[in-house]
Amino acid sequence: MPASKQKYVPTSGTYPKGFLATGIHVGVKPTNRQTPDLALLASENPCSGTAVFTKNKFQAAPVTLSRQVLERRSGEGIRAIIINSGCANAVTGKGGLDDASSMVRAVDACFQASPENTPPTQQGQASEPDPSSTLVMSTGVIGQRLPISKILAAIPTAYSGLSATHTSWLLAARAICTTDTFPKLLSRTFTLPSSPGTTYSLAGMTKGAGMIHPNMATLLGMLFTDAPIPAKTLQPLLTHAVDRSFNAISVDGDTSTNDTLAFLANGAAGGSPITSLTSEDGKAMTEIVTAFTQQLSQLVIRDGEGATKFVRVRVTNSPSFADAHKIASTIARSPLVKTALYGKDANWGRILCAVGYTEGLSPGAVVPEKTSVSFVPTDGSEVLKLLVRGEPESVDEKRAANILENEDLEILVDLGGGESGTGTEEASYWFCDFSHEYVTINGDYRT
């Protein structure tokens, strides 16, 4: 692990009650001799669950299977998530689906699912076998089959090693890594308006360093809380948070076949269930989860393959959030913007160009004569204005170069309210630069 990344790895944590974790070595890739590559996370009791998945048309077998598990259980009675790294189990045909299914069944067998975990049979329907209570994820090389025998043989060992310790959670976070240079794990405590005397916990882990431009209706993420949130509330809560976090980051503009972000809630800390996001508890939980997922997703950008810059682009005074989000996304995935930042070149014309070719904007969203572009230094010094209401500024190139020497940068694009002049919405995107190292990493990824 690079010394500069060590500060992002937690040395302790506050994890939600009733959740356990572990990570073990299997050797999914033959070249992996000792690094953990199989993670198991589980709730001691059945819990609510939901997930958002990639919109890539070539969806990996684990994506298909996990979606089916959640649908069959209506998001209730979920017990565990099993994740392997080293092989994506994507574009692997029926055999890949069989492998994912066998992983799920192996975990289910460890829990020896009891009758109370089975959803009630609807009237007039024949009784069916207990649907799985396990979600599955995979990440790694596309188009290769899993060494499924090795994985199935290791699952009971993983189950027996489940623990609530920080070490176990960190092992799980390490086990899901591929080209990541550090494990991405966060946790925090919080309270809710209806029960100020109760302390709840929220934990999350993610992986990803390349093929990152999620479009979640090879990035994986998991959130866990001991707050009481039923599945019908978890889904809109997660969607709101993801639109402002994991769907607002980009390393290289590529959307993986495996993108999955799951959220489990077991209610182990007690309290009244959050049944509406418009309630006081619902509003508080939305704010907490959104801020948490933003912080967690930004660790992916901090670890972008070959990255030397961590950049936030903020689009303000837009007629709508959707317009601002589309413009920010276009800037964040522009190769010309990203290479200019790597070269420490204040080439604001490339930023403006990306604004201008953004597709799908509402009429009048962008008016050239009202648009401004600035660099906002993260050290609190004065904003460097590059373009003001369509007119170029005389840029101090030396100061611009000094700003771009820093790892962190904010690009501010002010749309001036659009054609109507009344737009006040804004959106942010987080991304990194393109370096020579990015090409090196991805030029020999399979070798």
CA distances (Å), 406 to each of 100, 288, 341, in order?
A: 44, 29, 11
Question: Which of 226, 212, 319 has its CA nearest to residue 268?
Answer: 226
- Count other Cβ atoms within 10 Å, centred on residue 182: 20
> Is the CA virtual torsion 47, 175, 58, 442 positive or negative?
positive
348-357 helix and 335-342 helix, angle to the nearest 10 degrees: 160
DSSP labels for 147-168? -HHHHHHHHHHHHHT-B-SHHH
Type of residue numbered 201 = S
Type of residue numbered 121 = T
E-strand stretches of 381-445: 384-388, 391-392, 408-414, 425-432
Question: How far is it, in rounded angstroms, from Cα 75 to Cα 236?
Answer: 13
| Tokens, residue 330 | 């276009």
| Tokens, residue 184 | 């991405």
Beta partners for residue 206, in sequence order = 184, 221
DSSP labels for 286-342? HHHHHHHHHHHHHHHHHT-TT---EEEEEEEEES-HHHHHHHHHHHHT-HHHHHHHH
| Local structure of residue 387 (DSSP, 8 states) | E
Question: Contact 84/60 with Cβ under 8 angstroms?
Answer: no
Catalytic residue among 178, 179, 218, 260: 218
Question: How far is it, in rounded angstroms, from Cα 81 to Cα 86?
Answer: 17
218 is catalytic: yes
Type of residue numbered 217 = A
- Alpha helix (H) residue ranges in 74-112: 93-111
Catalytically active residues, by annotation: 218
